[in-house]
Amino acid sequence: MRARAAVFGLLLPVVITGQSARDQIRQWREAREPQIVQEFADFLKIPNVAADTQNLRRNATEIVAMLARRGVDARLLTNGAWPPVVYGELKAPGATRTIVLYAHYDGQPVDAKEWKGGAPFTPTLRDQRGSDWVDIPFPTTGRLNPESRIFARGAGDDKAPITAILTALDALKATGQRPTINLKFFFEGEEESNSAHLEGLLQRNANLLRADAWLFCDSPVHSSRQMQVVYGVRGAMGLELTVYGPTRAMHSGHYGNWVPNPGILVAELVTSLRNADGRILIKDFYDDVVPPTPAELKAVRALPNTDAAIRQDLLIGATEGNGALLAERIMLPGLNIRGLKVGQVEGLAANAIATEAKASIDFRLVPKQTPERIRALVEAHLNATGWFVTHAAATDAERLAHPKVVRVTWGGGDEASRVQQDEPVAVALAGTLDELLGKPVLRLPTMGGSLPTHLFERTLHVPLIVFPIANHDDNQHAKDENLRIQNLWDGIDAFAAIMTRMDTKWPRVVP
Amino acid sequence: MRARAAVFGLLLPVVITGQSARDQIRQWREAREPQIVQEFADFLKIPNVAADTQNLRRNATEIVAMLARRGVDARLLTNGAWPPVVYGELKAPGATRTIVLYAHYDGQPVDAKEWKGGAPFTPTLRDQRGSDWVDIPFPTTGRLNPESRIFARGAGDDKAPITAILTALDALKATGQRPTINLKFFFEGEEESNSAHLEGLLQRNANLLRADAWLFCDSPVHSSRQMQVVYGVRGAMGLELTVYGPTRAMHSGHYGNWVPNPGILVAELVTSLRNADGRILIKDFYDDVVPPTPAELKAVRALPNTDAAIRQDLLIGATEGNGALLAERIMLPGLNIRGLKVGQVEGLAANAIATEAKASIDFRLVPKQTPERIRALVEAHLNATGWFVTHAAATDAERLAHPKVVRVTWGGGDEASRVQQDEPVAVALAGTLDELLGKPVLRLPTMGGSLPTHLFERTLHVPLIVFPIANHDDNQHAKDENLRIQNLWDGIDAFAAIMTRMDTKWPRVVP
């Protein structure tokens, strides 16, 4: 921070000109891009996977320190053994509105050996050369290539908004501006574990967290690289299946086509759940699904259509849904096979019948679907297709008594949520961003991804709206997660505008 | 070897009694069990997986040394870059018959972390306690528990016969007996890679390898733990499939049910190949299959029926084939899913659509089926079910042009083989073992497993018969491979009988 203060001192003569507030913030940022990125990289160095509770806590205490350095009254809201929430407040004198800026500091699990460079927590700056991403040094002076990307777990999902918010505070201070809306900060550490232990904390802190609205700063911008506001999210729930085979791996010659093969059993199981076109085959699954309204369909069809470009980029020969738009498909529920694991393949494959087969699935839900109902439908489907279902390790007697035995383990579930586009916070946010961009920001009725927004809705009775800054091609949840540098710059601009202009766009309710 | 010679000297007064040759050999063995097992363990310490060519060669040179120490004229038959064959000869003065004893010193791939103890090449002696196998020290004196097992890759498949053959030679020498049949030894190092480069070596050495018959010393004894001779084997061939998904793992919320899921595609692919009951669904697959004859069915139905015990042991609720006998099922071709690999499961599972899905398959063939024909049928099936098939990495253009793209990699293939039970070598071997056991040895028309016997048949025009010594529950091809100590003792007795008595059982052809 001392280095930053020194640079800031040198820049003061530049920023106190008559330029617009927006241009001042940009100029300030352009003069110190290496320092901003360095602080981001230092933040990304702290591992943030769910299993690593010690480092999750380090993330939280570091964010408290970063907020405190910006003059924010910050502290941890502890939550028993679970990762703490970082909470902060910055009151704006005379402001009548309060928003909570939400982000999360935890990240998805990593399989380090799959990452380029093998080190998801060694942030690496890279430039694209042809189809490769080539390491480049972190610069210490000058400007960055806005198309460079910083690779690390959490770069896009979801440390980028935290860094953009903090830097926006720096920018406002340096350019002599002040927030005109009361700000609360809520950075949690359990989002990638479905915020499974957050509800009690929200209930205990309902007064502290009172606000007019929450902005969920998570997820990516539109695939056209344009900024978007998102009025809803799909729900999500996880499902792990273990299909039992013989107690020992058995020689496929001596025992093959007599000892049952768990690989074919799990393949039959998952193909009974959905087809290759994405249609879910579980009985009554679509009963609760409200089809998109004509207005919603009209809205998504007005979005830039980047489907062909995505197909080309991903080398996809045909998409699921018989040619339907991506934006339409994500308004439906989904069933994703996230993993299958049976025996070994290629060099490690042995001519043997494996002892078990595992399948990992995530569901995406739309409004009106509940995790409870999905669980009941799936288990009824399994029973109806001949499976003995157990929720614990199958006993010897169960394995001997039933031709097909599957252990079912449910992950935490979250319902979908959606607000109307005429909700005051939605009007205020979209108006703020319209002004910043000089054109209408993209408005998305729902995103395909999931956030624990429903948990906040039902606990705090507050409207929530999603405001993402990460690039759509950030490999979030996968190897080589990254953030495009320009998206960080755009995020800083946007948060500075939200802090200073959103209050002016808030609809005045006439009593 | 000096230690052994010293012990042998001490034992001489015991073995030169009037006991039958068979009893002398047993007594000799009972007096030196720890030393026999120690030599076996030292042999098992040398890693023997296909990828480790340096250690494969160490195995071969060590076997040459072990043969030479027994007075066998032994050497390596080199085979370019491929693992050498260990060849040896021991002529019996006056003998008119020559047999070749075949075994292999290479083993199946290992995934060390899956093994109990994590070290497949640290041979470990274990006793069963309840359902556990508990480490016990290698004894230095006294007798071993015949139900103890030695755990290591290669213990059952296929270093056990090599050790039993070598120890039988020691036993004959120590008890003043001599082989009455000319012996040739042929120990190869590429069996688990389908003996893929052996044909040229056999052709070049056809004269050297001339014999009346080959005994294939490989595979397990009957699951009733009774010794058996086996007149045929199933063929085998491997198949690796890679199904293409998006070029990057994609967030299952933002892109799910639009970006195609390779997990469901591979599941649909494998379920189109076979059903859970073991029936192969590939068009025309059974056209070449000659059904078992009534005589063959009668023979297998006369074998001890251990199906219920195996089911109980493996905790299998139902077997494939609608209740048919294991011994009948292995007379049919088989398609085994040896592995599926897509994304990750459980703790490592990310909510993402994987970039590819892999399936690993092995086929078992019966007489008249050829690998060429199977390859053609499978690829025609894939084409007919909408797959674009490539034999190299798919190009960008191919991936974009086709909805479903699969890379197909065929492993080496071997045809089935079978000899008649009245073939002279079959009569001689069965007669020798009948005499040793004091009751008829089990006679099996075919085994379920595969050996490269067809390669020898078509190259050397010689009858082959399979003579196994390993226990059926040796976990061969899987983790925790092991040999039951009693099976080693039985193997020593049997090879000593073969070397000294088989010539007397050989049918004399009247011209």
**Predicted model pTM:** 0.77
A251 and B478 in contact by Cβ < 8 A? Answer: yes
Q: Which of A153, A191, A230, A255 to mutate to test the interface with B (most CBs of B within 10 A)?
A: A255
Closest by CA to B232, choosing from B359, B414, B495, B93, is B414
In sequence order, what DSSP letters do the residues of B372-416 get, joined into one string?
HHHHHHHHHHHHHTTPEEESSPPPHHHHHH-SSEEEEEEEEEE--
Q: What is the pLDDT of residue B195?
A: 86
Taking CA atoms, what residue in A is nearest to B247? Answer: A314
Q: How confident is the model at residue A294 (pLDDT cuts 50, 70, 90)?
A: confident
- Chain A residues with CB under 8 Å of B256 CB are 278, 330, 334, 336, 362, 364, 448
Residue A401 is nearest to which of B247, B317, B338, comparing CB atoms?
B317
In sequence order, what DSSP letters do the residues of A65-129 get, joined into one string?
HHHHHTT-EEEEEEETBEEEEEEEEE--TT---EEEEEEE--B----GGGSTTS-TTS-EEEEEE
In sequence order, what DSSP letters do the residues of A250-293 get, joined into one string?
EEHHHHTTTS--HHHHHHHHHHHHB-TTS-B-STTTTTTPPPPP
Name the minimum distance, in Å, from the CA of B132 to any CA of chain A: 13
Helix or strand (DSSP H, E) at B34: helix B33-44
- Chain A residues with CB under 8 Å of B265 CB are 276
The pLDDT tens digits for B159-200 are 999 999 999 999 999 999 999 999 999 999 999 887 889 999
Contact call for residues A126 and A115 (beta carbons, < 8 A): no
B404 and A317 in contact by Cβ < 8 A? Answer: yes
Q: How confident is the model at residue A11 (pLDDT cuts 50, 70, 90)?
A: very low
B257 and A334 in contact by Cβ < 8 A? Answer: yes
d(CA A179, CA A172): 8
Q: Which of B314, B409, B471 to mutate to test the interface with A (most CBs of A within 10 A)?
A: B314
- Chain A residues with CB under 8 Å of B228 CB are none
Region B59-85: what's the mean pLDDT?
Answer: 96
Question: Tokens 């809803």 sit at which residue?
Answer: A232
- Whether residue A114 is predicted with pLDDT greater than 50 in this model: the reply is yes
Q: What is the percentage of chain B residues whose pLDDT exceeds 70? A: 96
Q: What is the pLDDT of residue B3?
A: 33
Mean pLDDT, all residues of chain B? 92
B267 and A404 in contact by Cβ < 8 A? Answer: no
Taking CA atoms, what residue in B is nearest to A401? Answer: B317
Taking CA atoms, what residue in B is nearest to A323? Answer: B258
The pLDDT tens digits for B279-337 are 999 999 999 998 888 878 887 888 999 999 999 999 999 999 988 999 999 999 999 99
- Whether residue A263 is predicted with pLDDT greater than 50 in this model: the reply is yes
A358 and B345 in contact by Cβ < 8 A? Answer: yes
Taking CA atoms, what residue in B is nearest to A259? Answer: B319
The pLDDT tens digits for A411-426 are 978 899 988 888 899 9
Chain centroid offset of residue A460 CA:
21
Residue A360 is nearest to which of B254, B335, B345, comparing CB atoms?
B345
Taking CA atoms, what residue in A is nearest to B318? Answer: A403
Lowest-pLDDT choice from A155-164, A347-356, B290-299, B453-462: B290-299
- Domain extents in chain A: 2-233+417-505, 235-289+332-414
Name the minimum distance, in Å, from the CA of B352 to any CA of chain A: 6
Residue B246 is nearest to which of A246, A314, A448, comparing CB atoms?
A314
Q: How confident is the model at residue A510 (pLDDT cuts 50, 70, 90)?
A: low
CA distances from B340 to A256, A259, A265, B51 (A): 17, 18, 12, 21
Q: What's the 3-state SS for B254-275?
A: HHCCCCCCHHHHHHHHHHHHEC
Q: How confident is the model at residue A133 (pLDDT cuts 50, 70, 90)?
A: very high
d(CA A400, CA A395): 9
B268 and A248 in contact by Cβ < 8 A? Answer: no
- Whether residue A4 is predicted with pLDDT greater than 70 in this model: the reply is no
Residue B260 is nearest to which of A51, A259, A319, comparing CB atoms?
A319
Residue B358 is nearest to which of A246, A251, A346, comparing CB atoms?
A346
A332 and B258 in contact by Cβ < 8 A? Answer: no
Name beta bridge partners: B237: B363, B413
- Whether residue A8 is predicted with pLDDT greater than 90 in this model: the reply is no
Higher pLDDT, B249 or B350: B249
Count CA atoms within 13 Å of residue B240 on its CB side: 17
Starting from the edge strand earliest in sequence, which strands make up the sheet with A356-365, in order?
A388-390, A405-414, A235-244, A356-365, A334-343, B334-343, B356-365, B235-244, B405-414, B388-390
- Chain B residues with CB under 8 Å of A326 CB are 255, 258
Lowest-pLDDT choice from A139-143, A158-162, A381-385, A457-461: A457-461
Total Cβ atoms within 10 A of residue A117: 13
CATH tag for B2-234+416-505 (out of 3.40.50.720, 3.40.630.10, 3.40.50.620, 1.10.1200.10): 3.40.630.10
Q: What is the pLDDT of residue B19?
A: 56
A316 and B246 in contact by Cβ < 8 A? Answer: yes
In degrees, rounded to 5, the angle at the alpha carbon of residue A93 between the alpha carbons of residues A90 and A94 is 130
Residue A255 is nearest to which of B111, B257, B448, comparing CB atoms?
B448
- Chain A residues with CB under 8 Å of B363 CB are none
Q: What is the pLDDT of residue A292?
A: 84
* Residue B379 exposed, middle or buried by CB count within 10 Å (0-12, 13-18, 19+): middle
The pLDDT tens digits for A367-412 are 999 999 999 999 999 999 999 999 999 999 999 999 999 999 999 7
Q: How confident is the model at residue A167 (pLDDT cuts 50, 70, 90)?
A: very high
Q: What's the 3-state SS for A2-63?
A: HHHHHHHHHHHHHHCCCCCHHHHHHHHHHCCHHHHHHHHHHHHCCCCECCCHHHHHHHHHHH
Q: Which of A271, A311, A315 to mutate to test the interface with B (most CBs of B within 10 A)?
A: A315
Q: Which of A128, A251, A361, A364 to mutate to test the interface with B (most CBs of B within 10 A)?
A: A251
Region A140-154: what's the mean pLDDT?
Answer: 97
Contact call for residues B251 and A317 (beta carbons, < 8 A): no
A349 and B109 in contact by Cβ < 8 A? Answer: yes
- Whether residue A13 is predicted with pLDDT greater than 80 in this model: the reply is no
Contact call for residues B98 and B16 (beta carbons, < 8 A): no
- Chain A residues with CB under 8 Å of B449 CB are 251, 253-254
CA dihedral A309, A311, A317, A323 (to 10 degrees): -90
Count CA atoms within 13 Å of residue A459 on its CB side: 20
Q: How confident is the model at residue A295 (pLDDT cuts 50, 70, 90)?
A: confident
Mean pLDDT, all residues of chain A? 92
Please, what CATH class does the domain formed by B236-287+332-413 belong to? alpha beta
- Whether residue B12 is predicted with pLDDT greater than 70 in this model: the reply is no
Region B118-133: what's the mean pLDDT?
Answer: 96
- A2-233+417-505: CATH topology: Aminopeptidase (3.40.630)
Question: Tokens 């694991």 sit at which residue?
Answer: A341
The pLDDT tens digits for A181-227 are 999 999 999 998 878 899 999 999 999 999 999 999 998 999 889 99
A478 and B111 in contact by Cβ < 8 A? Answer: no
Region A152-158: what's the mean pLDDT?
Answer: 97
CATH tag for A235-289+332-414 (out of 3.30.70.360, 3.10.20.600, 1.20.140.10, 3.30.70.2340): 3.30.70.360
Region A143-151: what's the mean pLDDT?
Answer: 98
φ/ψ of residue B370, rounded to 5: -120, 150
Tell me the pairing of strands A250-251 and A132-136.
unpaired
d(CA A374, CA A352): 35
Q: What is the pLDDT of residue B16?
A: 39
φ/ψ of residue A358, rounded to 5: -120, 140
Residue B352 is nearest to which of A351, A396, A478, comparing CB atoms?
A478
- Whether residue B4 is predicted with pLDDT greater than 80 in this model: the reply is no
The reply to whether B236-287+332-413 shares the fold of B2-234+416-505 is no
Name the minimum distance, in Å, from the CA of A417 to any CA of chain B: 14
Kindly state the DSSP code that residue B178 receives in the 8-state scheme: -
**Collapsed DSSP state (helix, strand, coil) of residue B132:** strand
Q: What is the pLDDT of residue A290?
A: 87
Residue A260 is nearest to which of B316, B362, B472, comparing CB atoms?
B316
Name the minimum distance, in Å, from the CA of A272 to any CA of chain B: 10
Closest by CA to B359, choosing from A337, A340, A277, is A340
Q: What is the pLDDT of residue A416?
A: 93
- Whether residue A511 is predicted with pLDDT greater than 80 in this model: the reply is no
- Chain A residues with CB under 8 Å of B243 CB are none
Name the minimum distance, in Å, from the CA of A482 to any CA of chain B: 12
Q: What is the pLDDT of residue A275?
A: 97
Pairs of CB atoms within 8 A across A/B: 382
